[in-house]
Amino acid sequence: MKIIVPIKRVIDYAIKIRVDASKGPLGVELKNTKMSINPFCEIAVEEAIQLKEAAAKAKKGDAEVVAVSIGPKQCSETIRTALAMGADRGVHIETKPDVRGDYIDLQPFGIARLLKGIVDREGDVDLVLMGKQSIDSDCGQTGPFLAGLLDSPQATFAASVEREDDGSFVVERETDAGTETIKLKPSGSPAIITCDLRLNTPRYPTMPNIMKAKKKPCETISLEDMVTELGLDLDDVLVPKNEVIEVYEPPPRKEGETVESIDDLLGKLKEKGLLS
Amino acid sequence: PMHQQSRSESTLVIAEPSSDESALAPATLSAVTAASKLHSGPISLLTFASGSASVPAGVSSVIQAKAEGDASLLAETVTNAVVAANEKHNFTHIVTPGTKFGANYLGRAGAQLGVSPISDVVEVLSESLIVYNEDTFVRPLYAGNALAKVVAKGDGPKLISVRPTAFEKAEADSEPASTETIDVSANELTEWLLESVSKSERPDLGAASVVISGGRGMKNGENFAMLEKLADKLGGAVGASRAAVDAGFVPNDLQVGQTGKVVAPDLYIAVGISGAIQHLSGMKDSKTIVAINKDKEAPIFQVADYGLVADLFDAVPELTDKV
């Protein structure tokens, strides 16, 4: 079994970003800001490793987990994190330093094309496991987009993933009303599964595993070279189809007030006509 | 609206399945409002329901999708229906509710139509084509801490999902002028097995005018009964923070936030919720926010219109008694 896990480097989830108009119309500062692996991607890495471990335990053959990241040279650190967690090798598609992955330059339309190219290049991929969304662009499109390009069975918002003996994947997925369970049947194309928060709790890489990860293979190739190798149209990948013309801060909320008691609170809510 | 029509424009709105076949889902009604801001051309509604629901004014036709052998609405099936409807009518715009239902197939439909979708539109600027001479939308980035103005480029239909809380619900009160059916080919890739749906007599979380949410401060699932009691008195829905979901207090479909549901009720009462960025992202557009928390430094107080520093185990029963 071969599993591809696309991972993204994003501003750390605990940082409250600021829009600095002095930086120009697209001024979200990325430099000197703490970056981390996108939390949903971390869950995808964990799930891939758990599937690998489960296959080994049940003596159902070895699985290979390949972490793929698209972005600036620091993405190699993100791949090392995945390798330290247990991924077998990495592929880094390196972009020029000024290319922004937070929707301004790279968008799902291009990313999904690159990922399809990687799937085709690797061959024999059984599963692509990825986050349900990145917390910077908040698009949530790349997984289903890739499934559409590959004509693959898909499951988004996975809360549990089981591999069956016939090679199908049974996925319980979060819906608006609860959950539903679907089976992704084996087809000529890999199954695409996007991970929700509840799927698992990612492990912390141990020091020995961090050391071992340094020796694991990671191929780095420039985005331009990769596009050429894959025979893609560079404009399809690098020119955003949806042009961002301005990024701005949402209007602040009116300053609130402290109430001293429930009676005080009820008085205020009645005054506003929210309660009768 | 002022509009230079280079070719006749028309929109397809995808109706999300409704628990009540005789009425459209609230998120669909919001999507119709967003669609009405795009251009003055006709709006069609794609539905999988067999019942005949009344539609909002402006919806001129209903396209009923008949999916063979597939009772549930998997992404592959919905995408096949959208592509089939578009092949027949060549729409200039396709609008889908920005719910999990919509997010599930938006990207897939984009790939199969060869277009780049725009997720979670909160504002349609296309009405003002004097300023924006192409379709221009506003969508949130970074958990709603930034807003982006986005111009939809490229050929093919403009494919967008719209955040239901950002648009009023259109009133459904008329009959569509025409109804047609399209056959949707069977989906061979996936098989639906079963579902587990949380049943509640309370209003739908995404559409309720009052929401009472609990966080880690609730301590356990049993204590959520306190919030349910208050919700029942106020005719509201119960929500939760991720911390409460992760701790197993309540099921995930109650989660409000960046990765859960986005709500914007008239009144949002946050109980025992600290107010992490990811939670604020899902509720900070509520009209009035009340926070009850014993930690006066909790970030939730920075967005609350009314903040009460108190032990929730005293405050909530007192509030329930007095409303």
Which tens digits make up the pLDDT trace of A92-117? 999 999 999 999 999 999 999 999 99
Predicted pLDDT of residue A143: 98
Cβ distance B193 to A170 less than 8 Å, yes or no, reads yes
Q: What distance in Å separates residue B257's CA from the closest CA in chain A? A: 12
pLDDT band at B70 (very low <50, low <70, confident <90, very high): low
Calculate mean pLDDT across residues A212-240: 97
Domain spans of chain A, in order of start? 2-251
Higher pLDDT, B228 or B174: B228
Backbone angles phi, psi at B230, to 5 degrees: -65, -40
pLDDT band at A24 (very low <50, low <70, confident <90, very high): low
Residue B28 CA to residue B26 CA, distance in Å, equals 5
Name every chain B residue with its beta carbon within 8 A of the beta carbon of A23.
Answer: none
Helix axes A142-150, B75-89, angle to 10 degrees: 70
pLDDT confidence of residue B185? 84
pLDDT single digits (tens) B278-304? 999 999 999 999 999 999 999 999 999
Residue A185: its chain B contacts at CB < 8 A?
188-191
The per-type count for chain B, helices as H runs and strands as E runs, is 7, 18
Q: Is A3 left (phi over 0), alpha (psi -120 to 50) or beta?
A: beta
Give the integer Cα–Cα distance in Å for B305 and A256.
4
Q: Which of A107-121, B38-52, B191-205 has the highest mean pLDDT?
A: A107-121
B248 in contact with A, Cβ within 8 Å: no
Helix (H, G, I), strand (E, B) or coil at A235: helix
- Give A127's pLDDT tier (boundaries 50, 70, 90): very high
Tokens of A261: 């008691």
pLDDT of B5 > 60? The answer is no
DSSP B138-154: EEEEGGGTEEEEEEE-S
Length of chain B: 323
pLDDT of B127: 78
Q: What percent of chain B has pLDDT over 90?
A: 77
Q: Is A174 on the interface with B (CB under 8 A)?
A: yes
Report whether CATH 3.50.50.60 matches the domain A2-251.
no
In order, the DSSP letters of A175-200 are -SSEEEEEEE---SS-EEEEE-GGG-
Chain B residues 111-150 with a CB less than 8 Å from chain A: 111-112, 115-120, 136, 140-150
Q: Nearest to residue B35, comparing CAs of B60, B69, B10? A: B10
What's the confidence (pLDDT) of residue A30? 79
Tokens 């409000």 label which residue? B256
The pLDDT assigned to B1 comes to: 44
* H or E stretch covering A110: helix A108-122
**Residues of A in Cβ contact (< 8 Å) with B277:** 13-14, 16
CB contact under 8 A, A179 and B246: no
Mean model confidence pLDDT for chain B: 92
Whether the per-residue pLDDT at B2 is higher than 50: the answer is: no
Of B42-46, B114-118, B199-203, B305-309, least confident by mean pLDDT is: B199-203
> pLDDT grade, residue A51 (50/70/90)?
very high
Q: What is the pLDDT of residue B133?
A: 83
Q: Residue B21 above 90 pLDDT?
A: no
CB-CB under 8 Å, A17 with B259? no
Q: Are A156 and A169 in contact (CB under 8 A)?
A: no
CA distance B137 to B133: 12
Residues of B in contact with A161 (CB under 8 A): none
Average the pLDDT over A239-251 and give the result: 93
Work out the average pLDDT over A154-162: 97
Q: What is the pLDDT of residue B69?
A: 65
pLDDT digit string, tens, across residues B114-166: 999 999 999 999 877 778 889 999 999 999 999 999 999 988 999 999 999 99
pLDDT digits (tens, 9 = 90+) for B171-194: 999 888 899 999 998 888 999 999
The DSSP bridge partners found for residue B178 are B61
Query: Which parts of B221-266 are beta strand (E)?
Result: 237-240
Which B residues in the span 8-37 are in contact with A, Cβ-Cβ below 8 Å? 16, 19
- Residue A221, pLDDT > 90, answer yes
* Average pLDDT estimate for A180-190: 95
What is the gyration radius of the CA atoms in chain B, in angstroms? Answer: 21
Which of A11-25, A67-81, B252-266 has the weakest average pLDDT?
A: A11-25
- For residue A152, the chain B residues in CB contact (below 8 A) are 189
Considering chain B, what percentage of its residues have pLDDT values greater than 70? 97
Closest residue in chain A to residue B27, using alpha carbons only: A176
**Chain A nearest CA to B86, separation (Å):** 16
Question: For the segment A77-88, what is each residue's pLDDT rounded down to a tens digit?
Answer: 999 999 999 999
**pLDDT at residue B3 above 60?**
no
